[in-house]
Structure 1
Amino acid sequence: MKTRLASTAMPVLTFLCACLPAMPAGAEALPKWELGLGAAGISLPSYRGSDVQRSEVLPAPYVVYRGERLQADRGGVRAELLRNDLFELNVSANLSLYRTTNDDPARRGMESLRPVAELGPTADFSLWRSADGRADLDFRVPLRAGFTIESSPRHVGWLLAPNLRLRLHDLGGMPGLGLSLQGGPQFADRRWHDYTYGVRPSEATAARPAYAASGGYSGMQVTGTLSRRFGDFWTGAFVRVDSLNGAVFRDSPLVRQNQGVTAGLAVIWVFGKSSTLVNAEE
């Protein structure tokens, strides 16, 4: 089993870990650790189904550690206990950057949404890997509990997000260029949906009737990422598309549109690295 704990202290670090994952490649001699710093820009809706788009520019720390058992990279922090070529079980973490304020038209007068930290097990099934290790296809099944990021965190339910993930390295014969495509349906319980889409009677208005969400299908999500290393510089970009067609909460007055797009770009300068080399994957 592998334990993976992605940082939730800085939203941009989760942006790098979740949206710009490490790309597969054959083992090679790499520095045991690397440190870097840069900037990241992200544009995203206030929440899935919102018609309010916001943009932010954030500092982007870059930390890589390639230990024998402990590893830290763009995929998070991992302590490997057991793993084989066909199956991997780990504990993974994620951080949703969706949030609202009282100025959001759909939620005016309602409690603001807080970012949500997600933590839980992930089963990863290897479906295919190329002979040179530069391409692989996985089926991943993460199950996560959600907790609000605030002084008194609240448990807001459970999310199940099975997905297929295709990763390509040295794309088009260009060293260091990586592409990742990932997508699948999402499912969540009543509490998860009600946190974002529920409207209490005390919050109801003539244009926003009371609404109690139910558990079930939450829509589809597809993400594409592209990254490349140029010497001491690393850059990456991603685009994520959400579709709420058929979602059980589609009738909520807080759902203003069926589709939403999130996109981001990060540029990192790697200013420090270990002189000790270890065999590892980039």
Structure 2
Amino acid sequence: MLVLPAATQMAAAAEKPLWELGIGGGFLLMPDYRGSDKTRAYLLPFPYAVYRGGIFRLEDKRISARLFATDRVTLDASGYGAVPVRSGDNDARAGMPDLDATFEFGPAIRIKLLDSKENKYRLNVALPVRAVFSTDFSSVRYEGFVFSPRLNFEKGDVIPGTGVYFGVSAGPMIANRGYHEYFYTVEPVYATVSRPAYAPGGGYSGSTMTVGLGKKYKQFIFNTFVSADYLKGAAFEDSPLVKRKTSWMGGFSITWVFLKSKNMVKDESPY
């Protein structure tokens, strides 16, 4: 997965640069797919860019636009991704076609429920719908869609005086049949004694909870996170490719911000 789902970058200052640029690197430890018993480590470089405009914003790896002057409701566009999987390196998928890299993109309505600058916390609900595509880098195929409502809580200076910020996000996933088929179908031609043919339907796709910590220090931003996927009751739970009902992922990242705008703007975040 190419995007680190780490805690939101927060700071206590009332004003921040209009834009920032930087580069970073991250370490990820993650399963081949949700429900896989094969875990791999990845080192991933990434660009860092922030724009804090009055109407449009690029922040926390999301492009957002204000819908109302109160800023209680925003419209986001965000993406997500997963690395390719070689079936020859995964016992559950041995003899099956490889899984191509996937990427997701789509809009989200974000509703702010609580926002306290004095106590440095924020609570919101995100309602993202994303189309899912797979690619072997020579062609792109539509696989389905995912709806992932999330309750997000963020707290700045969670350990008083340290500047450490905390974030937690939780919610269910709902996906159509096409999305589940891509990861969990076993066609009859690939069935074995220990891996019977299987075709999942659409519907509930498990639940996810992510907890992250971060801190800004001079020109650097440090983030770490752990995430758990709970698959019990999922529409594909009985797939022979599901070996674990709980999937874990974790990682950390370091970002170097090397360029900032001299123009400062008011940031409405309490952090």
TM-score (norm 1): 0.86
From 47, 67, 70, the counterpart of 2:33: 47
8 Å CA contact 2:66, 2:73 repeated in 1:
no
Larger mean Cα displacement after TM superposition, 95-104 or 235-244 = 95-104
Which deviates more, 41-50 or 128-137?
128-137
Match of 2:62 among 76, 92, 105: 76
Q: Residues 21 and 113 (structure 1 numbering): CA distance in 2 closer, same or farther, change over 3 Å? A: farther
Q: 1:154 aligns with which of 137, 141, 153?
A: 141
User: Number of aligned pairs?
Assistant: 267
- Return the offset for 1:253: 0.6
> Which of the numbers 156, 159, 163 marks the counterpart of 1:169?
156
Q: Are 1:184 and 2:171 matched, yes or no?
A: yes
Aligned partners of 1:218, 1:258: CA distance in 2, in Å? Answer: 12
String of CA shifts for 1:46-90, please: whole Å, max 9, x gaps.
000000000011223222222333322323233x24235474242
Quote the residue 1:272 is aligned against.
259
Q: Which of 117, 127, 130 pairs up with 2:116?
A: 130
Using the TM superposition, give the Cα deviation of residue 221 of structure 1 relative to its aligned residue in structure 2, in angstroms.
Answer: 0.6
- Give 1:259's aligned residue: 246
Partner amino acid, structure 1, of 2:125? F
The one-letter code of the counterpart of 1:197 is Y
Contact between 1:158 and 1:192, CA under 8 Å: does it hold in 2?
Answer: yes
Q: Does 1:193 align with 2:206?
A: no
For residues 86-144 of structure 1, give each alpha carbon's deviation from its aligned partner in whole angstroms, at most 9, with x where no partner exists: 74242422223253102211112212122322222322222222252621111222122
2:78 aligned with 1:88, yes or no?
no
User: Identity over the aligned pairs, expressed in percent?
Assistant: 34
Contact 1:198 1:210 in 2 (8 A): yes
SS, match of residue 192 in structure 1: helix
Does structure 2 conserve the Cα–Cα contact (< 8 Å) formed by 1:26 and 1:132? no
Q: Which amino acid aligns with 1:233?
A: F
Check conservation: 1:47, 1:99, Cα contact below 8 A: no
One-letter amino acid matched to 1:19: A
Matched, 1:209 2:199: no
Say whether the 8 Å CA contact 1:140–1:165 is kept in structure 2: yes
Correspondence 1:97 to 2:82:
yes
Letter in 2 for 1:247: A
Q: 1:221 maps to which residue?
A: 208
SS at structure 2 position matched to 1:196:
helix
Q: Which runs of 5+ in 2 are unaligned?
A: none
Moved more, 164-173 or 252-261: 164-173
Residues 219, 244 of structure 1: 8 Å contact kept: yes
Amino acid at match of 1:224: V
Match of 1:31 in 2: 17
In structure 2, the partner of 1:4 is none
**Distance change in 2, residues 1:20/1:256 (3 Å):** same
Determine the C-alpha separation between the residues in 2 that align with 1:69 and 1:27: 20
User: What TM-score, normalized by structure 2, do the two folds share?
Assistant: 0.90
CA contact (8 A) 1:45 1:53 kept: yes
Correspondence for 1:109 among 74, 95, 111? 95
Distance 1:93 1:187 in 2: 17
**Which residue matches 1:237?**
224
Q: Name the structure 1 match of 2:44.
A: 58
